[in-house]
Amino acid sequence: MASDNKPKAVDPAFTKSVVDAGADTVTLCFQCGTCTGSCPSGRVTAFRTRVMMRRVQLGFKDDVLPSDELWLCTTCASCDERCPRGVKITDIIMTLRNMAVREGYMAEAHKNTARSLMKTGHAIPLGDAFRKLRETLGLDGEPPTVLTDKEGLEEIKKIVKATGFDKLVG
Amino acid sequence: MAEYALFLGCIMPLRYPGIETATMEVAKALEMDMEVLEGTSCCPAPGVFRSFDRNTWLALGARNLALAEEKGTQIVTVCNGCFGSLWEVADLIEKDEKKKEYANSILKEIGKQYNGGVKVRQLAEILYTEIGLDAIAAKVTNKLDYMKAAVHYGCHYFKPDIVKKIDNRERPKTLDELLEVTGATSVDYRHKNMCCGAGGGVRSRAKEVAQAMTDQKLEAMKESGANCIVDICPFCHLQFDQGQSGLGTSFPVIHLSQLYVMAFGLDEAINGFEAHTVPVKF
């Protein structure tokens, strides 16, 4: 089974595409693991920030973009703040997630959140119980946001069309 | 328009509206000139929308900033998510001409423009640096000396701390001091500076992972002898308030604005505690 042990090919093109997208500090990582040691998500999952950075350096695109791990970061930025090499880790993860979404890797739950934003201008809906509670508190049932500002909501819809977000989410 | 414009966001007005009324009443009590910024949308949330497409996140954030610019006011947030997004969008546009050009090329489609310069603030930081602990202490009529609180800062309040310069990320103190001025005690606990677990789109995509992080914090709070949680972010608030059934804890979750309503002797009905999953009782 020697062929199974063949090392995976390094793909500099993927690394370059990440660097070109603005995540140039990924090349500075020297694998100390401070990020992994600082990661609250890594404490409870198999997500290893250091490994993610190494995979990008080696260009292992297929281990990165489709992975669930990529979406386990809470963006708390503890790793960024402690990285002795100034690697902007959260920013790199954002770049990778943007690339993953463009390649079609987007969870249904996230698509629904995105659709809510495009439809209402907010990430979550307003239910009857909360509308009533707002009134009990002396507030308008619907807050004075794009929920009541129809012109404002049209602006949101134009923006997501202009950036191509509507097509991206589908 | 007033000096400060309260940015509503999503979770506060749509899930914990009591934080909204509490914030306005506390601002009034502290003689802050504050109104609600109308016509805004989602900030847009940094964990989800920035993860999906940074251009859209930037453009929608710039629209919210443009609304404040038109009115010549500062933005005040009581949510670390809104604070994180709006602060970072403003900072990016300030520092990167290309980002500014892009944002304005999109805003042009809706007849708007953002020129820059809008200050984005977190209420806790304004209270600490501008209003001051002494002025807050002078308003305290109900000593909350029965409260032993586990304070939760959240992530986007002070990080990145080198540029935000609000507090020290490893040894923050602003929220502890803002709490203790009411007579309550801030209890030290393991994982105090750790994330609540909800951010980054983790709550919506992998709720059990978010919960596992929350459970670590709750376990540590239990060990510490705390009898409540005090926060400055409606999303962390939701994560703690709705995430306690598994461990069987019942820490009331109180936003700083709601805490001051209690300490200042204001009408507690405006805190809207009926929206809370864990009853707020001691």
B192 in a domain, yes or no? Answer: yes
The answer on B82 and B143 residing in a single domain is: no
In whole angstroms, what is the distance from residue A135 CA to residue A142 CA? 9
Conformational region of residue B162, where left means phi above 0, alpha means psi within -120 to 50, and beta covers everything else = alpha
CATH number of the domain that B56 lies in? 1.20.1050.140
Residues 50-69 of A with CB under 8 A from B: 68
Residue B26 lies in a domain: yes
Q: What is the pLDDT of residue B78?
A: 98
Q: What is the reported pLDDT for B135?
A: 98
User: What is the C-alpha separation between B10 and A161, in angstroms, rounded?
Assistant: 22
Contact status of A141 with chain B (Cβ, < 8 Å): no
Q: Is the ipTM of this complex over 0.85?
A: yes
Q: What's the token pair of residue A152? A: 């404002």
Residue-level pLDDT at A3: 59
Indicate which of B43, B52, B215, B238 best probes the interface with A, i.e. most A CBs within 10 Å of its own CB: B52
Please give the DSSP secondary-structure letter assigned to residue A73: -
| Domain extent for B160 | 133-275
Counted across chains A and B, CB pairs separated by less than 8 A come out at 206
Q: Single out the residue in B66, B93, B123 at which a domain terminates.
A: B123
Is there a contact between B227 and B251 (Cβ–Cβ < 8 Å)?
Answer: yes
Q: How far is A49 from chain B (nearest CA, A)?
A: 14
**Pair (B100, B213) in one structural domain:** no
Mean pLDDT by 10 residues, chain B (282 residues): 96 98 98 98 97 98 98 98 98 97 98 98 98 98 98 95 88 97 98 97 97 98 98 98 96 98 98 98 95
The domain that holds B177 is classified in CATH as: 3.40.50
Distance CA B75, CA B87 (A): 9
State how far residue B57 is from chain A, nearest Cα, in angstroms: 9
As for how many domains chain B has, the answer is 2
Within a domain: residue B282? no
- Residue A1 is predicted with a pLDDT of 46
End-of-domain residue from the set B64, B95, B123 = B123
Classify residue B212 as exposed, middle or buried by CB count within 10 Å of its CB (0-12, 13-18, 19+): middle
Tell me, yes or no, whether B13 and B101 share the same domain. yes
* Cα–Cα distance measured from residue B128 to residue B27, given in angstroms and rounded to the nearest whole number: 13
pLDDT of residue B1: 82
Strands B253-255 and B120-122: unpaired
The pLDDT assigned to B163 comes to: 84
| Residues B142 and B92 reside in one and the same domain | no
The answer to whether A121 contacts B41, with C-beta atoms less than 8 Å apart, is yes
Nearest to A126 by CA among A107, A111, A146: A146
Q: Going residue by residue through chain A, which has 170 residues, state the pLDDT in tens, using 9 for 90 and above.
A: 455 788 888 899 999 999 999 999 999 999 999 999 999 999 999 999 999 999 999 999 999 999 999 999 999 999 999 999 999 999 999 999 999 999 999 999 999 999 999 999 999 999 999 999 999 999 999 999 999 999 999 999 999 999 999 999 99
Helix (H, G, I), strand (E, B) or coil at B243: coil
Q: Which of B36, B109, B206 sits opposite A72 (nearest CB)?
A: B206
Contacts with B274 (C-beta within 8 Å, 6 or more apart), sequence order? A133
Residue at which a domain ends, from B123, B142, B174? B123
Please give the single-letter amino acid code of residue B132: G
Question: Is B254 part of a structural domain of the chain?
Answer: yes
* CA within 13 Å, CB half, A24: 2
Residues B99 and B163 in one domain: no
- Residue from the list A44, A73, A134 with its beta carbon closest to the beta carbon of B200: A73
B269, two tokens: 């009905």
